[in-house]
Amino acid sequence: MAQLWGGRFTKETDQLVYNFNASISFDQKFYKQDIEGSMAHVCMLGRQGILTQEEMQAIVKTLGEIQKDVEEGRLVITDAYEDIHSFVEAVLIERLGDTGKKLHTGRSRNDQVALDMRLYTRLELLYTDVLLKELLKVLLRIMEEHVDTIMPGFTHLQKAQPVTLAHHMGAYFEMFKRDRLRLCDIYRRMNYCPLGAGALAGTTYPLDREYTAKLLGFYGPTLNSMDSVSDRDYLIEFLSALSTIMMHLSRFSEEIILWNSNEYRFVEIDDAYSTGSSIMPQKKNPDIAELARGKTGRVYGALVSLLTTMKGIPLAYNKDMQEDKELTFDAMDTVKGCLALFTGMLDTMTFCREAMEKSAAHGFTNATDAADYLVNHGVPFRDAHGIVGRLVLYCIDKGAAIDELSLEELRSISPVFKEDIFEAVSLKTCVDKRLTLGAPGREAMEQVIAMEREYLAEEWQNEEAKNFVKFAE
């Protein structure tokens, strides 16, 4: 048991209490951020004359060595320490003696952990964004290749109107694009530095909080020391954004599972991204999509868990907040894993144009267009709707599609139908006439694809977002 406190205690901590209280098994995940934060703190202490230049240099140098030793396996983080903060400080003191004991001047573990978690989350947010961008690139490629691949569009999971694969993929493009914007937004709100808040009420040392904030790539320091040590809003926002990403991935997974089934056969998942059955030799299962759908619950769980943890905590820091870590780390890793694998699966998937077009050709996806034809020839829409309803009934009875009937049969239902009805209800016409912005018609689709291409090429839309990516590099 090694801890940073003990002066006012007359008894040893009970071993079970120690174990229950310790966080090193999971907070060692941000040892780099802990060291980075300490370096910035010490540089500021030196600049303010709170430490001498020699002390500052010695501490920064040794912290760098500690980091390198951990990275290269010469120094192992053990659970003999309560948390990562204690571990780093103890090793520093071991190596530097009394100078090392000055590291924690003007700082508390409360502002320290608030900083570490913020630095770690900021980086995770950037990784997630990079993965989202990779997914968008694959989606755009599929959109470019499938502007003419006709498939049924569904409502209520019933065939509704013909669309294209490009259009269907475009819907997911919009969702993941919004997910990126959400991350950028969160970044803007969270990128303020809590260091210098002390335990809760600031410190009596002349700290330069602006300076540490700048060193660590923040826009500036936070403005209330009690809020600084007890704010976990940014984690809740991030978990909410991660949950939304998972909700999108899960909907997409559900469609791919359906499309990959024998009943649809719209897609074939690459062998490298499918699994088999131990008993049924014919099986090729969409496990990646199923896992992405399944893991969504776990990420939602982290969000609800943290919201619940935070709801009754009085100001300022309370130990409950230590519970912010494990579930959040798990959610971050889960989403990164799902995004990377889903993108690989999508990138290697085969789309079966024929099956999609065949499916669109059966199921009366052109019924609305048949009604529109009548409207264009002077029939009021409500009457046209009724006529085409009867036409569909006739077709079902005959086991034929609308465009498989003869002109005589069509005219027996409405004399308004002329030879050009066949052209009007061909799937290609049905799709290509849908030219409002955002619709699947070729011209409209190409206009949107050009905009999305520009969006991906432009990289970042504004100045703030540019800093955001600079930090990731």
Q: Which residues are identified as catalytic? A: 156, 277
Among 113, 140, 242, 416, binds ligand ARG (CB under 6 A): 113
Examine residue 321 and tell whether it contacts ligand ARG (CB under 6 A).
yes
Query: Closer CB to ligand ARG, residue 311 or residue 319?
Result: 319
Examine residue 83 and tell whether it contacts ligand ARG (CB under 6 A).
yes
Nearest to 208 by CA among 52, 47, 34: 47
Examine residue 109 and tell whether it contacts ligand ARG (CB under 6 A).
yes
Q: Which stretch, 56-64, 249-257, 314-322, 408-416, contacts ligand ARG (CB under 6 A)?
A: 314-322
Q: How far is the CB of 120 from ligand ARG (least distance, A)?
A: 12
Q: Which stretch, 186-194, 202-210, 318-326, 329-337, contacts ligand ARG (CB under 6 A)?
A: 318-326
Examine residue 23 and tell whether it contacts ligand ARG (CB under 6 A).
yes
Q: In the bound complex, which residue of the shown chain has the CB atom lying closest to ligand ARG?
A: 322
Q: How far is the CB of 321 from ligand ARG (least distance, A)?
A: 5
Examine residue 229 and tell whether it contacts ligand ARG (CB under 6 A).
no
Q: Which stretch, 108-116, 268-276, 346-354, 357-365, contacts ligand ARG (CB under 6 A)?
A: 108-116
Largest CA distance in the chain: 102
Query: Closer CB to ligand ARG, residue 110 or residue 191?
Result: 110
Tokens of 238: 């991030």
Helices 84-96/109-145 angle, 10° precision? 120
Query: Closer CB to ligand ARG, residue 109 or residue 248?
Result: 109
Chain center to CA of 424: 42
# residues near ligand ARG by CB under 6 A: 10
Residues near 330 by beta carbon (within 8 Å), at least 6 away in sequence? 298, 302
Examine residue 45 and tell whether it contacts ligand ARG (CB under 6 A).
no
Query: Closer CB to ligand ARG, residue 274 or residue 322?
Result: 322
Examine residue 322 and tell whether it contacts ligand ARG (CB under 6 A).
yes
Q: How far is the CB of 318 from ligand ARG (least distance, A)?
A: 9
CA–CA separation, 417 vs 427, rounded Å? 17
CA–CA separation, 123 vs 360, rounded Å? 45
> Per-residue contact track with ligand ARG, 261 to 300, x per CB under 6 A?
----------------------------------------
Among 62, 67, 110, 343, binds ligand ARG (CB under 6 A): 110
- The residue whose two tokens read 């609308």 is 402
Examine residue 116 and tell whether it contacts ligand ARG (CB under 6 A).
no
Nearest to 288 by CA among 331, 352, 346, 332: 346
Q: Residues interacting with ligand ARG, by CB under 6 A?
A: 23, 27, 83, 109-110, 113, 317, 319, 321-322
